[in-house]
Every structure is written in structure tokens, then in C-alpha cells.
Chain A
Amino acid sequence: MFEFFKNLDRRWVFLMMGFAVIVPILVQVKFTETPTNLARAVFNEFEKLEPGDKVLLSFDYDPASQGELQPMATLFVRHACEKKLKLYFMALWPLGPQMIDDTVRNVILEEYNEREGVTPLVYGEDYVNLGFKSGAEGVIKVVVTNMRQLYTTDSRGTAIDDIPMMDGVKNIRQMDLMANVSAGGGGTKEWVQYAVTPYPDDITLVAGCTGVQAPLLYPYIPQQLPGLLGAIKGAAEYEALVNEKYNPPVPDDPKEAAKWQTRYERYTEGVRRMSPQLFGHLLIILLIVAANVIYFVEKKREGSS
């Protein structure tokens, strides 16, 4: 047995990790999240805004990190819709526009605009997708002073001057809040360095990022980055806050309850994805402990012989 674990084939490890991830997804285990101060700060920055205020949403990620970042992108858009803000989307990553399309379809077109008694959001009047521009830091440095130099059309090819909500918008310093979803280089760090740092009084930035990026962004908290959602955990915490405030109570009628479930289930992805993460983490700890036990037993044997 000892020899088996000592020379454990990595395929067994892969199999265990597969089970640790798949089983909680299939069983749909969910745990309650207690929001931390950083998630509360993100939530509060949105809550401070008034209907009609402008929010810039930069989606700097691609499908590779969609599993980790999509829940917070979804929540940013939902929160902005609930607050009736004007949404300006842009992307520093080539596949960002597709991420924007997916999120707009999921939140605005398939959910928010379908609600009864809600004035549907109209493209060009309530939200606009400015699309992707190459250059990352270069793009940031231009849009903080004069975005019209760079953006002459939106991502659909419509001239900027023909888009009603772009009237009077010269640069991103006119935005009341900026929310960034970032998967790496050309993301939150660059927004902090090239947009927030030169104009600290004009630009307020909150962000959601991957787990590996979060430690690198902590030094910017709270002056340059008031709120940060780190990985799925951050998304789940923010989700708890948004859902608590904006989800209507579950109807008593089973049919209506089923409809409610279909409508609002899309806003529980963060919590849903936390359970595979929990079991994945537990497995890693178990493997480290087992490996160390083997290491010390072996060392003891070597010492006694």
C-alpha cells in the first residue's frame, strides 16, 4: 500500500481531481457565502450611483478564463441594469467583444428586458459596445483624454456620432464608475497605472480578476482600487450581496416559482462554482498531507537503516 502511494501514478491524481470537480457539479452542492469587505466595497461603489449615471465596463478576458470571470461580469451588468445606469462596454482583449455579447444576451436581452413592468434597455441609448482596440496601455492612455480619437465607430460599425448615448462623451473621465473584468496583462493593473493613478479624482475603478492576479492587485487597495473581486470566491460574495438586494421573493405558486428559478438561476453561477473549488482545494490539501506523510515515513526508515 505504502509503495502504491509512494509511486502513485499521476493518472490516479487526475481521476481524483476529476471526481472532486464533477461530483459537486452533478449533485449541485451549494454553500452560503459571507461577503468580505472587498466585495462589499464593489457593491457599495455601484450602490452610490444614481439612475442615468455612466459606467464603463471593460471586459479584458477571453473564453479561457470565462469559467472564473463570467459570473462577476454577469453580476456587474446585472447590478448596473438594476441601478438603471448607462453602460459603456469596451475590451482590451481581442475576444472581449464576444464576452460582452454573451453577457449582454444573457443579462439584458434574455432576462432584464423580458421582465414585466420594466422599460427595456435599448442599444445605443442605454448600452453600447465600443469593441476591441489593440494596444492595451496605449488604448488606456488615449481614452482617458480623448476616446473619440480612437473610437470612431462602435463594434457594430455604427458611427460614434450616430449613437445617442455617446453625445457629449469625450473621455472616460466622464464616467461615474469603471468596472473591469481582467484575466491578465492588458487589464486591471494597466487601468490602475495608466487611468486611475494620473486621474485619481476623476476615475473610480472596481475590478474582478482571476485568482492568480489578485495577490498582485492587493497593493493598489484601497486608494487606487476601492473594491476587488478575487476569482470565483469574490464573485460568489458579490453575488450574495446583489441577489439579497435585488432578487424578488420566491413566489408561492409552484409554476411561478419555477419561472423565478429559471430567471434568477443565472445569477447564482458564482456560488455554484464554489463547491467544485472547495472539493478541489480539499483534495489538494489531502494530497500534500499524504505526500508529506510518505516523505517522513521514508526518511525515518532511511534513518533507522
Chain B
Amino acid sequence: MKRTVPLFITAAGGFILVVAYFIPHTQDWGEISLIWFDIIASFAMILGGGNLLKIHLSKVSDRGKGWAFSGVTLAAFILMLIIGLSKMGVHPNDNYPGFAWSGNYRETGAPFWWMYEHALKPLTATMFSMLAFYIASAAFRAFRAKNFEAILLLGTAFIILLGRTAAGVVLTGWMPERLSGLRLENLTIFIMTTFNTAGNRAIMIGIALGIASMSLKVLLAVDRSYLGSGD
């Protein structure tokens, strides 16, 4: 029962979507099953939150390495959750003034907005901007013209790096019109639209065939690995 029901739900959901795609009259079935999917996706957020609590609470209780970071994570998570769910400091919606919780949780000036604006936003932007430093360090340590393939890769990288900035125009902008294809910015476009596109299309077609075959296996219950290893 524990395995049969999920297998049945998967097969039914999958086949409904396939049928709804090809037969317009059954479009509503597809919509309904997708709304169910959206509801389940929302539950996945609750599951994710629960999992985060479980992992970090156990780290804090074990006093394992870096437990203080887990403590900060938990504090931030719980604080944001309480502020967001309770809509702390949020005024009711103008259309429904009688309902205290009808306001927008993102209201400017509210504690949730403040936490977002002054904590989450700068922190996540900082994390992303650190990439530039690590890329520079990795480029210095890893890129070596050891063989022909590496030389090709390096040459392409230089063209793209220069062609995606004003340097490309400065360095090769003087080239006459009949040689404009050799200008760095145009070479960049050529590489992206020809070599990159060809390679990516080949990969995409391969992936698509793989997905189709894998999906059929899942729908027909041949592949049951997504159910976990056992009871």
C-alpha cells in the first residue's frame, strides 16, 4: 500500500499531463493536476523548513564544529518566520480595513521589509559578488596552456572576456568594414551563436531523449528509485 499508492499517483498525474497536452478537450484535467502539484510544492517549503530546523538544532545540541553558525541560522530563520507570518507592523489592506492581517507582508517600513532590506539583501548580494574574487584566484591557479585543447580554450576565453567589454571595441574597432567579422565583439557573437549553440543543442537533444526515457520508466513504474530504498 505504502508503495502502490505513490506509484499510482505518479502514473495518473504523469499520464493526465501527457493526455492534456495532446488532446485540447482534456486541458482542464492538466490544469487541476498542476494545481495539485503547486499545493504539494508549497508543502515542500514546509518540509524544507522542518528539515533545516532538524539539522541545525541537532548541530547546536551536539555542540559540533561551527555550531554557532547553526545557532545564527536558527535565530534568523525563526525571527523572519515569526515577523513574516504574524505580519508584524503591517497595516490592513485599504480594501479590507476590518481585517487586521489583510495587509501586504512586504509593506515598506514594516519589520519584515526592514530585515529584507538591511540584512537579507546586502548579505546575499555580498555572497554573489565574492565570485569575482574566487574566479580571479582560480584563473591564476588553473588555466595553463598545457596542450592544444587548453590553448583553444584559453584563446576562446580571451576573445569572450575582451569581446564582452569595451576593450574589444578599443582593440579592434579600427578594422575596416570588410574585416569587421574579425572584430573582437563580432568574434564573440560568432563563437556564442555558432560553436556554443551547436554544442549546447547537441547536449540538449541528448538530455531531452534521456528525460523522455526516464519519465516513461517512472510513469510505468519500471524505475521506483524516487520512492526511496525501502520501508
Question: Which A residues have a C-beta under 8 Å from some C-beta of B?
Answer: 8, 10, 13-14, 16-18, 21, 31-34, 36-37, 62-67, 95, 97-98, 101, 133-135, 138-139, 141-142, 145-146, 149-150, 155-158, 162, 198, 211, 214-216, 218-219, 221, 231, 233, 274-275, 277-278, 280-285, 287-288, 290-292, 295
Q: Name the contact of A285 in the complex, choosing from B122, B127, B162 (C-beta under 8 A).
A: B162
The 8 Å CB contact of A133, one of B38, B104, B127, B167, is B38
Q: What is the interface of chain B mostly: helix, strand, loop, or mixed?
A: helix
Specify which chain B residues have a CB less than 8 angstroms from the CB of A155 in the assembled complex. Answer: 104, 106
Q: Write the nearest CB–CB distance from A163 to chain B, whole angstroms.
A: 10
Contact indicator A157/B132 (Cβ below 8 Å): no
Asked if A290 and B38 sit within 8 Å, CB to CB, the answer is no
A162→B106 contact, CB < 8 A? no
Given A10-B141, A135-B37, A150-B35, 7 new contacts (CB under 8 A): A63-B121, A64-B125, A98-B106, A101-B106, A145-B27, A214-B192, A288-B139
- A-B CB contact pairs (8 Å), 11 listed: A66-B121, A67-B125, A98-B106, A135-B34, A138-B37, A158-B93, A158-B95, A218-B192, A219-B204, A277-B165, A288-B158
B-chain residues with CB within 8 Å of residue A277 when the two chains form the complex: 164-165
Residue pair A281, B161 in contact (C-beta under 8 Å): yes
Interface check B41, CB cutoff 8 A: yes
Query: CA A67 – CA B93 in complex, angstroms?
Result: 32
- Which of B42, B127, B161 has the most chain A CB atoms inside 10 A of its CB? B161
With A33-B166, A285-B161, A291-B144 known to touch, is A157 a contact of B133 (CB < 8 Å)? no
Query: When each residue 19-50 of chain B gets 1 if its CB lies under 8 Å from chain A and 0 otherwise, what string results?
Result: 00100000100110011011001101100000
CB nearest to A295 among chain B residues: B144
Of chain A, the residue at the smallest CB distance from B136 is A17
**Distance in Å: Cβ of B182 to nearest Cβ of chain A:** 16
What size tier do the contact residues of chain B reach? Answer: 35 or more
Cross-chain contact of A13 among B128, B129, B140, B189 (Cβ < 8 A): B140
Let me know if B166 and A31 touch, CB within 8 A: yes
Count: A-B pairs, CB below 8 Å: 160
List A contacts of B129 (CB < 8 A). Answer: 67
Q: How far is the CB of A269 from chain B (nearest CB, A)?
A: 14
**Alpha-carbon distance A236/B204, docked complex (angstroms):** 29
- A37, A156, A275, A281: the one within 8 Å of B162 (CB): A281
Given A219-B197, A288-B139, are A62 and B38 also a contact pair (CB < 8 Å)?
no
Please measure, in the bound complex, the distance between the C-alpha atom of A10 and the C-alpha atom of B44, giving whole angstroms.
40
A281 touching B93, Cβ below 8 Å: no
Contacts of B42 in A (CB 8 A): 134-135
User: Are the C-beta atoms of B165 and A233 separated by less than 8 Å?
Assistant: yes
Residue of A16, A67, A198 near B128 (CB, 8 A) is: A67
Question: Which B residues are in CB contact (< 8 Å) with A149?
Answer: 31, 35
Nearest-CB residue, chain B, relative to A231: B164
A221 CA to B194 CA, complexed, in Å? 11
Verify A291–B141 contact, CB threshold 8 A.
yes
Give A32 to B140 CA distance when docked, in angstroms. Answer: 30
B196 contacts partner chain A, Cβ-Cβ < 8 Å: yes
CB pair B136 A13 closer than 8 Å: yes
On whether the beta carbons of A156 and B37 are closer than 8 Å, the reply is: no
Q: Tell me whether B72 is interfacial, beta carbon within 8 Å.
A: no
Query: B29 to nearest A CB, angstroms?
Result: 11
Shortest 3 CB-CB distances between A and B: which pairs? A31-B166, A278-B165, A135-B38
**Is there an interface contact between B120 and A63, defined as CB atoms closer than 8 Å?**
yes
Known: A67-B128, A157-B96. A14 touches B137 (CB 8 A): yes
Query: Is the C-beta of B79 less than 8 angstroms from some C-beta in chain A?
Result: no
Q: Does the CB pair B169–A34 fall under 8 Å?
A: yes
